[in-house]
Amino acid sequence: MKTVHLIIEDKPIAVPEGTNIFQAAIDNNIHIPGLCYQPKLPQFGGCRLCMVEVTERRTGHRFACAHPVSEGMIVKVNTPKITRYRKSVMEYLLAHHPLDCPTCDKSGECGLQNISYDLNLAPGRFKTTRMNVPVIRDNPLLELNRNRCVLCGRCVSTCKEIEGLGAIDFQNRGIKTVIGTAFDKPLDCSFCGGCVAVCPTGAWQDRTLGFGGRSWEFMKTPTICPYCSVGCTIVLNTKASPPRRDGGVDTVKRVTSDDYTGINEGNLCVKGRFGYEFIHSSERINTPLLRRGSELTPVSWDEAIACISENFKKIIAEHGGVSIGGIGSEKSTNEENYLFQKFCRTVLKTNNIDNLSNIKSPFLNGLIYKSVIHGFASASIKDMETATTLFFFGADITEAHPVIGNMARKAIRLKGANLVIANARNVQFQSQARSDVRLRYALGSQVTLVNAIMKAIIDGNLVDLKKVEASTNNFPALRDQLNNFDPKDALQLTGISADSIKQAAAMLTNNGNSYLVCGKDVEEDPRGADIIEALLNLCALINAGYNADANSARISIFFSRSHNNSQGVNDVGVVSGYLPGYADIENASSRETVENVWGVKLPDDMCKKDNQDVFDLALQDKLKALYIMGENPVVIHPDGKKVHDALQKVGFIVVQDTFLTETARMANVVLPSATFAEKEGTFTNMGMLVQRLNKAILPVGNARPDWQIISDIARKMGHAFAYTSPKDVMVELERVSPVYSGIIYDRLKRKEFHWTSFFLTKNKPLTYTFGVIEPGVLNISASKDFPFILLTGASLNHQGTFSRHTKALTSVAPECLVEVSRNDARAMGINNGDVVIIESARSKIKLKAKVSGKVSEGMVFISEDYEWQPVNLLKDGAYTPVRIHKEIG
C-alpha cells in the first residue's frame, strides 16, 4: 500500500494511504481529543471534538476522524480558534451531563472528564439542560445511565459490528435522543460487555464492580482468560482494602480489556468479562482436606503431603507404579501439566496418564500433529481477521468461541469475507456477510459433505489440479473415488443441495486465505477421525495448488478445543502415547532427549501407548491409586456412570482443585490449588499460541499453585523437583519438547510464542499423501422407545467449575435448558419453561425446556457446560437416543 507523508503538530509522520487523520495521530502517539472515534469501530463522526486545522491546497477546518490523509498535508490540532470551538462543544456536552463524577465508577478514566481537564474548562455560559431519566438496571451485569450518555454511538456500533447483535440503538430525536433497546424491553443479549468497554463516559457500567473501587485505586494486571481455548487477554483490576500498607490483600474487583494487548482487541465474552467472581468465592477450598472415615477434614499441608507420599510409596512398593493413574488438567498451565506428567512418569513410574480432551477424542492429537507437519495448521487465530472465507465445520462459534466470532465479523466487515457454516444444528451466527452459506447436514453424513465439496472443486477446476497432482502423493486415488461419486447421493445423504455445495467450494477456493474451524461436534463424533482426515484432504487439495504470485486460495485449519489449555495439556505430554512435544513414547530414540534431561531411564515396559482410558483400568481393578489435577471427570467425562463406578473401585484418590467438586468429594485427599489469577505460567490456545499468565493476587487462603504442590509431593517422595517458579519449568520444557523449542519465558511478556510457525521455520512441511475416506454411513437411529437423538455442546454462559461458582454467570444463566425443536414441542405440548424429563436407556434428568429453531425435529440439545447438571449420566456415546416428556403435575 502507498505511504503518505504528512505533518501533524510539527511531527513528520508516514502512514498508509486511506488512513484518517485521527488514526494517523493515534499510531504516532499524537493526542487529538475525541469521544466517538474508536479504531476498532466504523467511523461515526458525531462528537465533533476532533476538529483540526488542515492545510492541503488551502487551509481549512476538518474533522480528523472523517478526513483521509494526503501527501504533504499539514495538520494542527490546537490553534486558538480550534480550542475555542472545541470548548464550545464541550460546554454544550457538560450543560447536558449530570456532572455526578463523585459517584461515578468511570471517574478517573472518563473521556469527558479528561477532555474537560485538558481544555481547562471554566463554568459555562449556560444553565443546564440535563436529563433526569431513571438508570436502567434490568439485568444483573450491565447498567445504563442515560443521563451520562454523550451519544458517541460506540456501544451501538460495538453491539452491531463486533458482537453482531444490534441489541441497542438510538431512540427518539433531538435532545430526547437516547440509547436503548427496542421498545425498552430488558436487555437480552450475549452480555459480552463490549458496550462497557468502549463507553467513553459512565453511561454503561459493569454492575459486578458495584462501587468496589475507583479507577486509580486498581492495579491492572493483564493475564489470560481461564475459560475457552481462544486465549483472550483479560485485565484483572485488583485492589487491596484496607490498603496494602495497612496489611490489606489485593482482591479482584473487575475485569477490563485492553484493545492493544493480546489477540482479542479488547473484545471479550460474558465469561471473560464477568466470570471472575469464583476467584473469591466463599466455597473455595482453603486448606487441604483428608478423609477420616466418611468425612473430609481440614489438615495442614505437611500432613496432607506426608499422607500422599506415604500412600503412593506404599502402593508403588506393593503393586508397582503401573497401578497408579493420573489425570492432567485442561485448565492448568503448561508448566504444571509438564510437571504432572514428569511426576507420574519419573516419581510414580506410571504411564497411565491422560487428560479429558484426549479421552473425548483420542485420535485428535495425532491428526492435529499431522495437520501441523503438513503446514495446514500454521496460522494464528488472529489471522482470521484477514480471511477471505471462513468455514466453520461442526463448530458452534457463538456459544463455544465467541471472540472468534468477533474476529470473523471483523473479516466480514473490513475484508468482505465469505462465510460457510456446516453444522447439524442451525447454529446462530449473526453477521453481515454478503456471501453466507449454511450447510445443515444430516447427522453422520459429514464425510460425504466434505467429499462433495472436494468433488465440486475438482469438477469445477477451481484449483490448479496439475500442481496438486505433482506436489502430493496418491491424488489420483482420491480423484477416482470422487469420480465415482454421484452428487445426487450427496443430496440424499446430507440433505444439502448441489448448488450450496458448489457455492461453498467456490468460496473456499477464492483468492486469499481461508480459515477452517473444525468444531467439537466433529472431534467428538464417532467417525471424527474420518471426518478430520477428509477435511485434511480438502486442505491439501486447496493448499497444494497454492500459487504465491497469483495470491491464490490457501486454507488453514484450527481445531476447536474446549478449555483454555486443552491444547497445552496435550502438547506437554499428559497422554500415554506421547512424551512432551508429541515424541512417540514407544520409540526409544525419541525418549532419549527426555531421559537425558530428566536424568532417568524410562523402562520399556512402562512406555506403552495405552488405548484404554484410565477409568477403564480402574473398572478392571488394575488401579490402586489415582491422582487427579484440576479436573472433575465425574461430570466432565463423556461417560459419567463409568467414572463414578471406577472411582469407587480405587483405594486412594488425590484430587487437587479449587473447589470441592463431585470428584473431589470422592477423594481421600483434597489439595486446594490456586486459580489462574494467583499464579504464573503459560496457556496454549487452540491456535497453538503460547501466552503468559501474570500473577495478579496472592493465593487465596492456603491454596498453592499446582506446580508447587506437585513439586512438594515429589520432594517429599525423595525426588529433586527443585523448581522455584514456572520459569524454571519452562526452561526445562523448552529443552525437552520439540514443539516448544525456542520458547523463552521472559520474552513471552512482550510477545506470545506461536509454536507452529516456529516449528515450521525449522521443519519443512511434509508432502501430503491423500487418503481415500469412504463416506460410509453412521448408524444413528432413534428407536421406538427412544425417539430423539440427544446432542450436547458448549454454552456461552458457562464452562465447568469456575462459571458455576460465579454469581454473575449463574444469574444470567441460572439453569441448564433442553432445546426442543418447534414442531416437536408443539406435538408434545411443550412450551418454553415447561419442566421436561429426558430419559435415556441409562438414566434420566429433569430440565426446563427451551423451544428453539436451532435443533431439527427429532433432536434435542443440552449444553454440557452446566457442571451441576450431569448430562453425561444420560450419554452412552456422542449421539444418545432419548425420550422426552413433559412432567405432569
Minimal distance in Å, beta carbon 743 to another protein? 45
What does the DSSP assignment read for 788-800?
EEEEEE--SS--H
Q: Is 93 in the site for another protein (CB under 8 A)?
A: yes
Minimal distance in Å, beta carbon 120 to another protein? 18
Nearer to another protein, 165 or 780 (CB): 165
Minimal distance in Å, beta carbon 38 to another protein? 15
Residues 6+ apart with CB under 8 A from 470: none
Nearer to another protein, 36 or 141 (CB): 36
Interface stretch with another protein, choices 82-90, 712-720, 767-775, 877-885 (CB under 8 A): 82-90
Minimal distance in Å, beta carbon 181 to another protein? 14
Tell me the three cell numbers of residue 819. 432445546
First to last CA, the chain: 69
Out of 73, 151, 400, 579, name the contact with another protein by CB under 8 A: 151
Tell me the three cell numbers of residue 797. 454462559
Nearer to another protein, 85 or 369 (CB): 85
Give the neighbor-by-neighbor strand order of the sheet with 295-298: 295-298, 289-292, 669-672, 652-657, 625-629, 324-327, 353-354
Tell me the three cell numbers of residue 808. 454473575
Tell me the three cell numbers of residue 172. 427518539
What does the DSSP assignment read for 531-572?
HHHHHHHHHHHHHHT--TTTT--EEEEEE--SSTTHHHHHHT
Nearer to another protein, 134 or 174 (CB): 174
Sole residue written with cell 466433529:
522
Q: Is 15 in the site for another protein (CB under 8 A)?
A: no
Q: Is 146 in the site for another protein (CB under 8 A)?
A: no
Out of 39, 85, 606, 731, name the contact with another protein by CB under 8 A: 85
Minimal distance in Å, beta carbon 96 to another protein? 5
Residues of span 330-389 touching another protein by CB under 8 A: none
Distance CA 796, CA 273 (A): 12
Q: Is 66 in the site for another protein (CB under 8 A)?
A: yes
Q: How far is CA 226 from CA 77, 252, 261, 331, in A?
A: 43, 14, 16, 7
Nearer to another protein, 48 or 455 (CB): 48
Nearer to another protein, 41 or 93 (CB): 93
Residues of span 171-190 touching another protein by CB under 8 A: 172-177
Minimal distance in Å, beta carbon 152 to another protein? 10
Q: Is 133 in the site for another protein (CB under 8 A)?
A: no
Out of 3, 18, 72, 170, name the contact with another protein by CB under 8 A: 170
Residue 535 backbone zone (phi > 0: left; psi -120 to 50: alpha; other: beta): alpha
Residues of span 36-65 touching another protein by CB under 8 A: 43, 45-48, 51, 61, 63, 65
Interface stretch with another protein, choices 90-98, 309-317, 323-331, 668-676 (CB under 8 A): 90-98
Other CB atoms within a 10 A radius of the CB of residue 209 amount to: 17
Residue 617, judged by CB atoms within 10 A of its CB (0-12, 13-18, 19+), counts as buried
Out of 7, 9, 68, 886, name the contact with another protein by CB under 8 A: 68
Minimal distance in Å, beta carbon 83 to another protein? 12
**What is Dmax (Cα atoms) for the chain?**
92
Interaction mask 667-706, another protein, x per CB under 8 A = ----------------------------------------
Tell me the three cell numbers of residue 680. 504464573
Nearer to another protein, 27 or 169 (CB): 169
Give the three-state DSSP class for 582: coil
Distance CA 839, CA 327 (A): 30
Helices (H), 416-527: 446-459, 465-471, 475-483, 487-494, 498-508, 520-523
Nearer to another protein, 127 or 466 (CB): 127
Minimal distance in Å, beta carbon 415 to another protein? 15
CB 35 within 8 A of CB 51: no
Minimal distance in Å, beta carbon 169 to another protein? 7
Residues 6+ apart with CB under 8 A from 29: none
Give the three-state DSSP class for 212: coil
Other CB atoms within a 10 A radius of the CB of residue 477 amount to: 13
| 588-598 helix and 726-736 helix, angle to the nearest 10 degrees | 150
Interface stretch with another protein, choices 169-177, 439-447, 546-554, 734-742 (CB under 8 A): 169-177
Residues of span 801-840 touching another protein by CB under 8 A: none
Interaction mask 112-131, another protein, x per CB under 8 A = -------------xxx-x--
Nearer to another protein, 128 or 497 (CB): 128
Sole residue written with cell 405440548:
829
Nearer to another protein, 89 or 491 (CB): 89
Helices (H), 186-299: 194-198, 270-274
Q: Is 89 in the site for another protein (CB under 8 A)?
A: yes
CA angle 415, 156, 214 (to 5 degrees): 115
Minimal distance in Å, beta carbon 61 to another protein? 7
Give the three-state DSSP class for 518: strand
Minimal distance in Å, beta carbon 883 to another protein? 45
CA angle 424, 558, 609 (to 5 degrees): 95
Distance CA 525, CA 431 (A): 27
Residues 6+ apart with CB under 8 A from 456: 462, 498, 501, 502, 504, 505, 506
Minimal distance in Å, beta carbon 661 to another protein? 49
Tell me the three cell numbers of residue 76. 494542527
Nearer to another protein, 43 or 811 (CB): 43
Minimal distance in Å, beta carbon 788 to another protein? 40
Out of 96, 563, 679, 875, name the contact with another protein by CB under 8 A: 96
CB 819 within 8 A of CB 424: no
Minimal distance in Å, beta carbon 437 to another protein? 21
Minimal distance in Å, beta carbon 68 to another protein? 7
Minimal distance in Å, beta carbon 85 to another protein? 6
Nearer to another protein, 95 or 99 (CB): 95
Q: How far is CA 870 from CA 165, 863, 874, in A?
A: 31, 10, 8
Out of 7, 26, 30, 95, name the contact with another protein by CB under 8 A: 95
Out of 21, 25, 41, 67, name the contact with another protein by CB under 8 A: 67
Nearer to another protein, 66 or 772 (CB): 66
CB 460 within 8 A of CB 502: yes
Minimal distance in Å, beta carbon 86 to another protein? 8
Q: Is 148 in the site for another protein (CB under 8 A)?
A: no
Amino acid (one-letter) located at 150: V
Q: How many chain residues touch another protein (CB under 8 A)?
A: 34
Residues that bind another protein (CB under 8 A): 43, 45-48, 51, 61, 63, 65-68, 85, 88-89, 92-93, 95-96, 125-127, 129, 150-151, 153, 169-170, 172-177
